[in-house]
Structure 1
Amino acid sequence: MRSSTVALAIVLAILAAPLRGEVIESTAAGFLVRNTAAINAPPAKVYGALTDGVARWWDPVHTFSHDARNLTLDAKPGGCFCERLPDGGGLEHMRVVYASPGKLLRLSGAIGPLQEAALVGTMTWNLSQAGGGTTVELIYAVGGFRAGGFRDIPTVVDGVLRGQLARLKTLVETGRPD
């Protein structure tokens, strides 16, 4: 009985854990950030919101069109995380390189203002079952050349991604991103 009580306490602690984020490493050649969240929903539901519902949770402030409804994510190898622009144009934010529904989504590309530099980025969303919920680990590794170096960029990127993960968590748990 005691072991099941301890196990339940651990699961509840994981599910109640706040979002955590950190810059793991930052050098002249690039950086690595990691954010984690416990989401009170099964991995399949989280993955569905992550992929099919990106336009519902992605913060419109971090789009070129300022309207997240212009975002699409085709969650298959070679699929595009793209944005339509009001003038009929568009852009590719990232390209899907690995998709395992309910488990993992990996994309390649430099997001936002990082596109202007000679950078390559790999963003990995790891989803794992945690009791009745899901632990999401979001890792983004960026490398290459950026005039002036990276300075405070890793901290800014970490904050933006933590905000995006928070919006995903809130959408899945409440039906609203904020």
Structure 2
Amino acid sequence: MRYLICIAGLLLAAPLNAEVVHADAHGFEVRNAVQLVVAAPDALAAFTRVASWWSKDHTYSGDPANLSLDLRPGGCFCERFPKGGGIEHLRVAYVDPGKQIILVGALGPLLSEAVNGVMDVSVTKIAGGSRLTLIYRASGFTNGGGDKFAPKVDAMLADQLKRFRAFAADRGGR
């Protein structure tokens, strides 16, 4: 029984799949997916509460409470700075409630490069819950090449989805 509990804990802690799909000097594609024990609409609703699960280590302000995601076309995945100002991480381009969100923009250090990206977040129903798949594609000019950024972006997004999975499981999507 103890082994089953350990295995269940490991399955909840790690992404189902994290990979660099393609990378070259001009851009990259990374794909991450997690299985969740919540229904698809609840999974996407939980995903939008980024301030509750995003790592402080991947914010500019050092506090994920400063993050917000306005889930409407033209809405912003933004971070406000405590002393004023802020950053637009991504902009919402497409919303299919309970199924898919597409955001556009350059994540983190890619913002200061001549790069644009597309983040496609989709949720599908599976036995026992849902699967959330996050694909991020970025292209353009980067100092050092897109192939150098790909593994770092993939690792960062895999870490975020581990945190998201724990949040969604704990909150039941609510």
TM over 0.5: yes
Gaps of 5+ in 2: 1-10
Task: Structure 1 unaligned segments of length 5 or more: list them.
Answer: 1-13
Q: Relative to structure 1, is the Cα distance of residues 42 and 83 closer, same or farther in structure 2, using a 3 angstrom cutoff?
A: same
Moved runs in structure 1, 4+ residues, more than 6 A? 14-17
Question: What is the TM-score when the length of structure 1 is the normalising length?
Answer: 0.86
Structure of higher RCO (CA pairs closer than 8 Å, 6+ residues apart): 2
Distance in 2 separating the partners of 1:54 and 1:17: 18
**Identical counterparts, % of pairs:** 44
CA contact (8 A) 1:15 1:133 kept: no
Residues 17, 38 of structure 1: 8 Å contact kept: no
SS in 2 for 1:152: helix
Give the secondary-structure state (helix, strand or coil) at the position aligned to 2:146.
coil
- 69-78 vs 17-26, which moves further: 17-26
TM-score norm. by structure 2 comes to: 0.88
Deviations 1:87-128 (A, max 9, x none): 111110000001111100110000111101000000011100
Name the stretch that deviates more: 112-121 or 151-160.
151-160
Tell me how far 1:175 sits from its aligned partner.
3.6
Q: Deviations over 1:30-80 (max 9, x none)?
A: 0000011100100111111111x1100111110000100000000110000
The Cα shift of 1:157 comes to 0.4
Counterpart of 2:141 in structure 1 is 145
Q: Give the alignment of 1:1-178 within 5 angstroms.
A: 18-51=15-48, 53-175=49-171
Q: How many residues align?
A: 162
Higher-Rg structure is: 1
Once residues 171 and 53 of structure 2 are traced to their aligned partners in structure 1, the CA distance between those partners, rounded to angstroms, is 10
Over aligned residue pairs, what C-alpha RMSD do you find? 1.9
